[in-house]
């Protein structure tokens, strides 16, 4: 008998028909003699509708009350799923995040799981129940409802799998695994059978909308056996684990991220400590910076450019304005009409010429590169947003035609 955690996203439970379909998947897993814990997201666009309702009532809602409102979407999903399983004759019980023992810090809207008290969960499993848990939520030390931010239900599922020492954590989505590129952009993209935690973490961080990076970080930390598969097709999915056959594919994937903006401090003083002062200020205000480019000094000045998430752009520019006054920069400029395109693969570490091939593909597609960032297993470039899909297709063709895939 195995203990399996299954997570179903918003599209998988979008309406009554899909809830009933997913209930069948869960029931089949249970009938095979497994203990089953299920994590569900809010149905379809429920979260967006709740945010819109909050904005109608109060354009500047407090994060505490917004969390209390947002959590209701998953509460509805968990109850509906339990009802669907009851109809199939399955023993099921629904639990909110806090009933399931998920404790978090107090960062409303982006809380992190601090611990999970598994006593209630284990008691229900010992009774033979299928346990349905509302994803995306927990409770802080003040017993206030918190939400886990973007991809929170993925994080809930992996955290529960880790705490329960589950044999497998299955993340069901509307795609039947992880692909070498978004099939909507590259129709001949290839489904990947296996991928390492590190590769999946890079893909998730760089715009691949399959798993959230926080859930992959947690899976790697606690060695959770992870599988990404579709609730629609029943096909085998992608296994995420520590080691795979990295020789088979030099590159595991090509991604794009359009939720990005470029900000530049122009004409700052060309002297030691300037970069430290800028980025320590941003760190103090919890602004995460990605690609950084510092120009060669000229006439005692230089330009420093970096990228941030687009929804952090306005706040970052405000910070930069105060910083500009301090260091005497000539101006702060920004561009949110950009995209980041990246390639990821552990195989590139031992293969020279990968960057050259990527840049050649972009040249042949007449795509100009604004900024470049590299690590051992990824290369990212900043380009015009309008060129993003063209760039992904060109890079994918370059690498996957080369290896005969």
Give the count of domains, the chain.
1
DSSP3 helix / strand / coil % (the chain, rounded to 5): 40, 25, 35
CATH number of the domain enclosing 125? 3.40.1160.10
Q: Which residue has the tokens 């972009």?
A: 362
Q: Which helix (H) or strand (E) holds 333?
A: strand 331-335
- The pLDDT, as a whole number, for residue 297 is 66
Q: Is residue 149 part of a domain?
A: yes
Range of the domain at 133: 3-174
Whether the predicted pLDDT of 321 surpasses 50: yes
Among residues 98, 21, 27, 36, which one has the least CA distance to residue 67?
98
The phi, psi pair for 335, rounded to 5°, reads -150, 115
Average pLDDT, the chain: 91
Q: Which residue has the tokens 């290839």?
A: 190
pLDDT in tens, 76-92: 999 999 999 999 999 99
Q: Is residue 213 part of a domain?
A: no
pLDDT-based confidence at residue 228 (cuts at 50, 70, 90): very high
Task: Tell me if 381 sits within 8 A of 341, measured CB to CB.
Answer: yes
pLDDT in tens, 165-208: 999 999 998 888 898 898 888 999 888 899 999 989 888 877 67
pLDDT in tens, 255-289: 999 999 999 988 888 888 888 888 888 888 888 89
Whether the predicted pLDDT of 394 surpasses 80: yes
- The pLDDT, as a whole number, for residue 248 is 52
Whether the predicted pLDDT of 244 surpasses 80: no
Measured distance between the N- and C-terminal CA atoms of the chain, rounded to whole angstroms: 38
Q: Is residue 331 part of a domain?
A: no
Q: Which helix (H) or strand (E) holds 391?
A: helix 388-402
- The pLDDT, as a whole number, for residue 120 is 98
Q: Is residue 223 part of a domain?
A: no
Among residues 331, 340, 367, 351, which one has the least CA distance to residue 399?
351
- Burial (CB count <10 Å: 0-12, 13-18, 19+), residue 271: exposed
pLDDT in tens, 95-135: 999 999 999 999 999 999 999 999 999 999 999 999 999 99
DSSP string, 153-177: HHHHHHHHHHHHT-SEEEEEESSSS
Per-residue burial over 108-137, b = 16 or more CB atoms within 10 Å of its CB, e = otherwise: bebbbbeebebeebbebbeeebbbbbbbbb
Whether the predicted pLDDT of 403 surpasses 70: no
The phi, psi pair for 381, rounded to 5°, reads -130, 150
pLDDT-based confidence at residue 151 (cuts at 50, 70, 90): confident
Q: Is residue 395 part of a domain?
A: no
pLDDT in tens, 212-225: 888 999 999 999 99
Task: Tell me if 372 sits within 8 A of 359, measured CB to CB.
Answer: no
Residue 234 CB coordination number (10 Å): 10
pLDDT-based confidence at residue 164 (cuts at 50, 70, 90): very high
Residue 378 CB coordination number (10 Å): 24
Q: Is residue 362 part of a domain?
A: no
Q: Is residue 54 part of a domain?
A: yes
Whether the predicted pLDDT of 361 surpasses 80: yes
Residue 77 vs residue 321, higher pLDDT: 77
Q: What is the CA radius of gyration of the chain?
A: 23
């Amino acid at each position: 008998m195995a203990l399996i955690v299954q997570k179903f996203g918003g599209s998988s439970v979008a309406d009554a028909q899909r809830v009933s379909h997913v209930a069948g998947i869960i029931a089949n897993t249970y009938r095979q003699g497994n203990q089953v814990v299920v994590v569900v997201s809010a149905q379809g666009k429920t979260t967006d509708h709740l945010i819109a309702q909050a904005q109608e009532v109060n354009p500047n809602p407090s994060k505490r009350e917004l969390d209390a409102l947002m959590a209701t979407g998953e509460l509805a999903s968990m109850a509906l799923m339990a009802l669907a399983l009851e109809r199939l004759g399955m023993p099921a019980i629904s639990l909110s995040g806090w009933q399931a023992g998920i404790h978090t810090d107090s960062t409303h809207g982006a809380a992190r799981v601090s611990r999970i008290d598994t006593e209630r969960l284990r008691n229900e499993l010992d009774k033979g129940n299928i346990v349905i848990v509302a994803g995306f939520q927990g409770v802080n030390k003040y017993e206030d409802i918190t939400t886990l931010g973007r991809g929170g239900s993925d994080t809930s599922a992996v955290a529960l799998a880790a705490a329960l020492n589950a044999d497998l954590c299955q993340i069901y989505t509307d795609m039947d695994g992880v692909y070498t590129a978004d099939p909507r952009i590259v129709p001949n993209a290839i489904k990947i059978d296996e991928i390492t935690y590190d590769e999946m973490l890079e893909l998730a961080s760089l715009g691949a909308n399959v798993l959230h990076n926080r859930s992959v970080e947690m899976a790697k930390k606690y060695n959770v056996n992870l599988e990404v598969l579709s609730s629609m097709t029943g096909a085998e999915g992608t296994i995420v684990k520590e080691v795979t056959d990295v020789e088979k594919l030099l590159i595991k994937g090509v991604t794009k991220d359009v939720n990005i903006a470029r900000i530049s401090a122009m004409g700052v003083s060309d002297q030691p400590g300037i970069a430290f002062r800028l980025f320590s200020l941003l760190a103090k205000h919890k602004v995460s910076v990605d690609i950084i480019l510092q120009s060669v000094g000229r006439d005692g000045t230089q330009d420093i450019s970096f990228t941030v998430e687009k929804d952090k752009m306005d706040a970052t520019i405000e910070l930069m304005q105060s910083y500009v006054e301090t260091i005497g920069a000539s101006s702060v400029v920004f561009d949110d009409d950009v995209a980041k395109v990246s390639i990821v693969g552990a195989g590139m570490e031992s293969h020279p010429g990968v960057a050259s091939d990527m840049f050649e593909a972009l040249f042949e597609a007449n795509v100009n590169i604004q900024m470049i960032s590299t690590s051992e297993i990824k290369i990212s470039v900043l380009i015009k947003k309008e060129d993003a899909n063209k760039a992904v297709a060109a890079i994918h063709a370059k690498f996957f035609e080369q290896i005969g895939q």
